[in-house]
Structure 1
């Protein structure tokens, strides 16, 4: 959206209202507070609203925000400011001057404001203005601003006050909640467009946490991170986080909280942080967000440098494992058990790990690790056996994705062991399962003399499968110029002629045109609304490209004469006459 042409992308209703606000001089102030970043005040019916607009160098509107409760993408107040900015830009372009924005606008008529400019002040850099003021004056100015907006006081305390952590955390919670409260609707929900402003308090608190890490105060930083996470997890229940801004802030807070430099910590400090992280991980708020809990527990595992800490973590894992017994959701319970088992695996001594690993083979990640360990140790037969067991088990459980995974690992082990016969069998199966890479592998495993028989058998079996969602079969036919087989394939699926007519045109032109014509005639006979009529017309244009103007004109005339009573259809056909004739 560009400042010179924004009307094209905004509702005409909003444009008209915003233009009326602009013409009625309701944009009372506007200021460039940073390069291409503008702050404006617009007079509303019952209140004044603050508008922030960020422009790119080329005039593209980078972002825009208004404090009004309107939940649409752009409000009338923002449109009014757009008009102000455009008027200023166009005036400066006309004068051949570098664009500058007025800091204030008088409530005179637009003509007067544009023509004489007597009631305007030329923008100055804010930093320069503030630098000229005395400390006492700036303090008084900030106190005056705090009277109008208590959030400024919270931000001052957050940024500059250092004292009791509990008091500081209380300030953090208040700041985060006040930003959220400003942007919830009457139902207590934060709409998509309001989320970036609603989470601003959380972002400020996270900045403080990062600074505390730099100041070598990790415990305070962790508590501030948890403050952000608590409020953002709760906000997730009542906000549209389609772009992941809330989840992203939680992830950033979690990453900051678990940023551990063990070499810089004493054993006592490690133990203290361990207990704080473990207590947080066990909180019920993470029952629905287990991946975040696992990240906290992973950090605990890294900190558990003593037997006492490892035992405490093992007990916590046991508690969490017991909770999964009563879960109503089998998939999530299995996922949780596997994650907890991997965490427990990290805590074991090297001598204990092998037995534990083999006891957990029902969990995919453990079976994969066992297979890879066997391959790395050149125990190829063990790796093959483990993979085959996985295939059988997951075939019975109806998990085709895992079955394919074990086949791939078995192929890797067979390749390392140079078991050619098994490699051929697996590459054949994996190609049929839809992996083109294994088709290339399969081809390399046979001589030219023996390949044709294998190819025919492969294509026969693939042709019996439903490949609507897998194009490996078609890709092989195209790569090998197997036009006869491709024709047969399309004859069984006439709707695919649009995609493959170019492949058939040279070798089977008559059959291709017959198929194409029959498909269009079928679509025409079944069409019963404007959208479907347009689609048939589009097919006719493509048919002309495929089979030439004579064929297309004949079918075009046939439809015009045969569907006279379908007025809308005939209208769409006449629209494409110039493209057909």
Structure 2
């Protein structure tokens, strides 16, 4: 989830409660402990500590709260803090507030820079009385060989996990974020090693993290999603290290190939095909001759015998490994043999796409149409309507490119009635204005009675394009909430009808409202009504609501705050 719109990823009830905490100033303190990592204290039945970690792009990559809530991945205290962080960062964007703690960090760096070496050593020895601090110091400053560093890192990861285990060995939801602290430390070390150019050390550490966390994920409740991002970031270290163009010649490339091929074959990846496929994908890029190609193929064959306990998972495995084979074949045997390989794997969606693309490039449009039609039949039998539509789109491109106008029009109409508005524009562009006047009325009944929900319905967009405001008003009248979306197209011609739709919508929304967030939404719609020109209608709604709900103090408060010019 992303800080900009995290509300869409969290249960609505939790969002409402968290918003109330935020609005009631229950977030007592908030500080940025290091770049993009925040710690807050939230007042509730007790005071709870919340930690939030963001990526550079604003993705919430880690979160934790000391409260006992275990009914979902995110609690109301974390939601309140996310609102507070977003508010703080927006304020910073305006230049009026600095990140919490920034000044202190700058002063601390200056202070430490002025210390003598023996003073710093004494300070670190004092801090190292805390076992966790000692572990970080040893990990950061360790000068051991790679094998020793990996084993030390493995012990560190296991130690943090073991500290959080219950008597039965299981780690509960509330303890997982603390249990993976050791893995986080090792990941930081792997990233530092990568920056220093120690590619093999970085990869070995990253694999250590993956091995330990894949085992741990089966011994804990990670519904909060703490483990997968760490494994994914470890894979990023591996990819960056191994695929670096400055890699030290064939010897180091061979060492990486052997290491990763052996890793991918380990039993612990059974049941985790995505991560195994990621590792094999890196291996595939290191195959640069027949010997490695043969070794790689042998591992794929061996793993393929046991990979995929269902038809879907077997298909998933086969398609991804065949893509690796194709990549290697293109590089070593040439494009011609690779194209033959593609033609023999048309059951894979990606391969059929390639075959159609190849046919289109050489101008063989009938072959492209045949491939698309076969794909439609195959995926209809499989029960994959989305992919069926994909093949229809490819067929449409072939009709258009080959000048088969009637077939193009027929398929454009089918895709439009299937819910794709873009094909309305495509279809209309194939007719002259005079021709379109004759064709258009015959399209309307199928669009109007499609039964699609608004979000997937091209009908209102078509009405707007054609200037059919009377039909649009009738459409909105059946779903009054849509007045928010379509009042700009209607209000100049049908002001009274639009205001009435707004009023009915406001009253029904208020009737269902039960908290301050809901009341604020009611006031937002009232403000929209006034913006549409219905100031008197908006005032009437406010007066009616105040009279109807005198005991809803939060609603009365929100209504009093509504202002318009």
Q: After TM superposition, is the score higher than 0.5?
A: yes
Matched, 1:254 2:241: no
Matched, 1:497 2:483: yes
Partner of 1:315: 298
Match of 1:224 among 201, 205, 218: 205
Partner of 2:373: 388
Matched residue pairs, number?
483
Task: Give distance in 1, aligned partners of 2:24 and 2:511.
Answer: 33
Task: Give distance in 1, aligned partners of 2:27 and 2:502.
Answer: 47
Match of 1:340 among 321, 332, 347: 321
Structure 2 CA distance for partners of 1:68 and 1:447, relative to 1, 3 Å: closer
Alignment of 1:3-402 (within 5 A): 15=28, 125-130=110-115, 132-133=116-117, 146=128, 148-149=130-131, 152=134, 155-156=137-138, 159-163=141-145, 165-178=146-159, 188-189=171-172, 194=178, 197-207=181-191, 209-210=193-194, 214-215=197-198, 218-236=199-217, 238=220, 239=222, 240-241=224-225, 245-259=229-243, 261=245, 264-266=248-250, 269-324=252-307, 327-328=309-310, 330-348=311-329, 349-350=333-334, 352-402=337-387
Task: Give distance in 1, aligned partners of 2:376 and 2:65.
Answer: 58
Q: Give SS of 1:323's match.
A: coil
C-alpha displacement of 1:275: 2.1
Q: Give SS of 1:507's match.
A: coil
C-alpha distance after superposition, 1:55-74 (max 9, x if no partner): xxxxxxxxx99999999999
C-alpha distance after superposition, 1:320-363 (max 9, x if no partner): 322245x14x4333222211222233344345433432222121
Task: Give distance in 1, aligned partners of 2:225 and 2:488.
Answer: 44
Partner of 1:431: 416
Partner of 2:17: none
Structure 2 CA distance for partners of 1:461 and 1:572, relative to 1, 3 Å: same
Task: Give distance in 2, aligned partners of 1:206 and 1:170.
Answer: 14
Task: Give distance in 2, aligned partners of 1:397 and 1:483.
Answer: 42
TM-score by length of 1: 0.67
Q: Give SS of 1:362's match.
A: coil
Does 1 or 2 have the higher relative contact order (CA < 8 Å, sep 6+)?
2
Partner of 1:477: 463
Of residues 310-319 and 542-551 in structure 1, the stretch that sits farther from structure 2 once superposed is 542-551
Q: Give SS of 1:421's match.
A: helix
Task: Give distance in 1, aligned partners of 2:378 and 2:368.
Answer: 15
Task: Give distance in 2, aligned partners of 1:518 and 1:236.
Answer: 51
Where structure 1 has 5 or more consecutive residues not aligned to the other structure, the ranges are 1-7, 19-32, 40-50, 55-63, 76-98, 104-121
Partner of 1:119: none
Cα RMSD, aligned residues only: 5.1
Task: Give distance in 2, aligned partners of 1:102 and 1:428.
Answer: 63
8 Å contact from structure 1 (residues 229, 254) kept in 2: no
Task: Give distance in 1, aligned partners of 2:77 and 2:552.
Answer: 38
C-alpha displacement of 1:317: 1.4
Greater gyration radius:
1
Partner of 1:78: none
Structure 2 CA distance for partners of 1:459 and 1:198, relative to 1, 3 Å: farther
Task: Give distance in 2, aligned partners of 1:481 and 1:539.
Answer: 26
C-alpha displacement of 1:167: 2.4
C-alpha distance after superposition, 1:67-116 (max 9, x if no partner): 999999999xxxxxxxxxxxxxxxxxxxxxxx98799xxxxxxxxxxxxx
8 Å contact from structure 2 (residues 190, 203) kept in 1: no
Task: Give distance in 1, aligned partners of 2:504 and 2:326.
Answer: 63
